[in-house]
Amino acid sequence: MSADFLYGIEVIINGLMAGVLYALVALGFVLIFKASGIFNYAQGVMALFAALTLVGIMEGQVPFGHLINAIFGTDVHHFGWEVPALLAIAFTVLIMIGFAWAVQRFVFRHLVGQEPIILFMATIGLAYFLEGVGDLMWGSDIKTLALGLPQGGSLAVEEWTAGLGGDDFYGFFIDKLDMVATLVAAVLVISLVVFAQYTKQGRAMRAVADDHQAALSVGISLNFIWVLVWSLAGIVALVAGVMWGAKSGVQFSLSLIALKALPVLMLGGFTSIPGAIVGGLIIGVGEKLFEYTIGAPYLGGATENWFAYMLALIFLVFRPQGLFGEKIIERV
Amino acid sequence: MLYREAGDFKTSYHADNQTFPIKFDRIGFWITMVIAFLVIPFMINDYWANAIFVPFLIYAIAAIGLNILTGYCGQVSLGTGGFMAVGAYACYKLMTAFPDVSIVIHIILAGGITAAVGAAFGLPSLRIKGFYLAVATLAAQFFLVWLFNKVSWFYNYSASGQINAPERFVAGVAVTGPNTDPWAQYMICLVFLTVCALIARNLTRGTIGRSWMAIRDMDIAAEIIGVNPLKAKLTAFAVSSFFIGISGALFFAVYLGAVEVGEAFGIQKSFLVLFMIIIGGLGSIFGCFAGAAFLVLLPVALKVIGVDVLGWPTDLVSHLNLVIVGALIMFFLIKEPHGLAQLWRLAKEKLRLWPFPY
């Protein structure tokens, strides 16, 4: 096999792994959208906030230290202890659940029945709010996430595949972290599907997604389900935040992964979990391949910023509800 | 008492069709015009022009543009930043290619170019609706910003990748470049805003505005009663982009003077303008002004209070700013989803009876 062809395959594999991460973010969107019709722009900031909180707890930072110092003239930064990773993750999950409850109680309960665009705007407001709170609580400097996740290229894969090509092929370069992320994402998706299919709460969740009023009439508490899906989205955000944060440091740009997930959603359909996964994979592979074959050589690179959107746009012109979305039926 | 619709009889078609049919509104309009044109230019200084008035005027134009598309025609767009960038770069290319032509013409042409680009990106709206369309307009945002970053023809192959506005004059007064007086900056923006607002106001109450609103309220029903959706949607995209292009050109040439596209016209700008029309009020020209004023003044006010009065560090205040803006947006949406314009409508209801309610 020629080296070019093998490099092409390497690009596809890396694209698939990036796609899994996109799918992970998109999943959070789909969960909330299905259950409450809210298009949650704050998903990316939730990932950032969760990752910041995790780092902050692990390092024993004083929350709002900066603000306290400014108001009282004190000088506090750290408690002086370090929390083990698992305990910190548990605390972070608790905080995300608390956040889900607060969002439901103070914002979206008052907005029930509003137009979707108003709900969408509210989540953008929420994104600003949460970003500000995250910065105030933990500071805005770039943090590293020391969870002990493996980093760098996998030598084993490289040596194992080096024999496939000729002399100028050195094997596939695959990031270990991406492999871990793929694994975690797969586990998460499977457990979410199992939860939705086989538990009582999961069934209630699907009922709400199907029809709010019918679900209400058989005695399902909408409030509880909404808190539940926001909590689940918070946990998905934590996982996404950890994976992306381990990759590039925990900083503001982490919240921009929400923008990466939007074309995935369009492609896969807003209401479909399999759609989010397949869409993520298509976008991941598509944008890496495009960059490799056309973007970098002919267009000056960095086409990843817009290619996914263009792909989704062109696709939607032919199929307006996405790959797996429910068929849009309009009546007068 | 103060606000009266009754007793104001019209005796000619001309009077019946005027832009402000109610006397109170007309008086308010002329008072505002006199203050804006005859008082403020003589009192303005550098700080007030740069921190408040010029950005307010420019954002108001952008908000009018977006409100036509989103508020009147119901097509949510997140590509405002990209379209502003088109206006800015078109203006720059025209300014450097034809230095002898007046900048006023360049700005209008820049608006026209943006209108063409906007109409092209509006084409998918015929197939895609709602959120799908909102996300689709992000394609315009990212693609356009990338294009202006990568293709060096757009910034005349300058090494920094920035565009700088050369000095240009209107009637012998410098309006762009480093030696511009604050009042000149203010005046050119004000003239453009006044003309744009009047055009927008009259478009929205005419045939074309009604066809936009019909499409917004229910597009299938509108089609059945004979509104051409292709025409209505594409004109909305074109007119909206025209105004946004003008605001982008002014933002670059008059306000900033030097622009790096990712920084000045990023996705944040799209959201900012969208917030303005939501807080101001969808489907209201007055709302564009109110929203723009609110979101321009808020950070300035917070900065004055936080940094100058309380003496807190700047980064802390900017974080607090985010929290407060976010919380206010949610608060507004909960309390008054129809924005400041609705508050003004309610105030007028009260004024009608005040001070002698039943």
Calculate the average pLDDT of chain A: 81
* Local confidence band at A168 (pLDDT 50, 70, 90 cut-offs): low
Residue B226 region by backbone torsions, left for phi larger than 0, else alpha for psi between -120 and 50, else beta? left
Percent of chain A at pLDDT > 70 equals 90
* Local confidence band at A250 (pLDDT 50, 70, 90 cut-offs): confident
Q: Which residue of chain A is at minimal alpha-carbon distance from B222? A: A332
Residue B328 touches partner A, C-beta closer than 8 Å = yes
Rounded average pLDDT over A312-318: 81
Calpha distance A299→A305 (Å, rounded): 13
Interface of B with A in 210-239 (CB under 8 A): 218, 220-221, 224
Percent of chain A at pLDDT > 90 equals 8
- Write the CB contacts of A136 (distance below 8 Å, at least 6 apart in sequence): A64, A66, A67, B316, B319, B320, B323
Whether the per-residue pLDDT at A1 is higher than 60: the answer is no
Q: Which residue of chain B is at minimal alpha-carbon distance from A37? A: B131
Using an 8 Å CB-CB cutoff, list chain B residues near A137.
none
The pTM of this model reads 0.87
How many CB pairs below 8 A link A and B? 136
- Write the CB contacts of A8 (distance below 8 Å, at least 6 apart in sequence): A289, A292, A293
For the segment B289-298, what is each residue's pLDDT rounded down to a tens digit? 999 999 899 8
Rounded average pLDDT over A248-267: 79
Q: Considering CB atoms only, which of B76, B136, B333 is closest to A122?
A: B333
What does the radius of gyration of chain A's CA atoms come to, in whole angstroms?
21
For the segment A97-136, what is each residue's pLDDT rounded down to a tens digit? 999 999 989 988 888 877 777 788 888 889 989 988 988 8
Rounded average pLDDT over A170-199: 81
Q: Considering CB atoms only, which of A125, A270, A320 is closest to B330?
A: A125
CA distances from B210 to A142, B203, B281 (A): 51, 9, 18
Of B180, B166, B190, the C-alpha closest to B247 is B190
One pLDDT digit (tens) per residue for chain B, 358 residues: 677 777 778 888 888 888 888 888 888 899 999 999 998 888 888 888 888 999 999 999 999 999 999 989 988 888 999 999 999 999 999 999 888 888 999 999 999 999 999 999 988 888 887 777 887 788 889 899 989 988 888 888 888 888 888 888 888 888 887 888 888 889 999 999 999 999 999 999 889 999 999 999 888 899 999 999 999 999 999 999 999 999 999 999 999 888 888 888 988 899 889 988 888 888 889 999 999 999 899 888 888 887 778 777 777 888 888 888 888 888 888 888 788 888 888 888 888 887 777 6
* Local confidence band at A197 (pLDDT 50, 70, 90 cut-offs): confident
Rounded average pLDDT over A178-206: 85
Calpha distance B109→B256 (Å, rounded): 20
Of B120, B117, B37, the C-alpha closest to B82 is B117
For the segment B5-42, what is each residue's pLDDT rounded down to a tens digit? 777 788 888 888 888 888 888 888 999 999 999 988 88
Calpha distance A289→A13 (Å, rounded): 10
Contact A256, A305 (CB under 8 A): no
Domain parsing of chain B, residue ranges: 22-353
CA distance B205 to chain A (A): 24
- Quote the DSSP letter at residue B163: E
Using an 8 Å CB-CB cutoff, list chain A residues near B333.
111, 114, 118, 121-122, 125
For the segment B32-43, what is each residue's pLDDT rounded down to a tens digit? 999 999 988 888
Interface of A with B in 6-45 (CB under 8 A): 39
Domain B22-353 part of CATH 1.10.3470 = yes
pLDDT of A152? 67
CA distance B352 to chain A (A): 29
Interface of B with A in 123-142 (CB under 8 A): 124, 127-132, 134-136, 138-139, 142
Residue B73 touches partner A, C-beta closer than 8 Å = no
- Exposed, middle or buried, B48 (CB in 10 Å: 0-12/13-18/19+)? middle
Contact A7, A167 (CB under 8 A): no
CA distance A124 to chain B (A): 8
The CATH fold assigned to A3-318 is ABC transporter involved in vitamin B12 uptake, BtuC (1.10.3470)
pLDDT of B25? 84
For the segment A79-101, what is each residue's pLDDT rounded down to a tens digit? 777 778 888 889 999 999 999 99
**Structure-block tokens of residue B23:** 């006397």
* Local confidence band at A163 (pLDDT 50, 70, 90 cut-offs): low
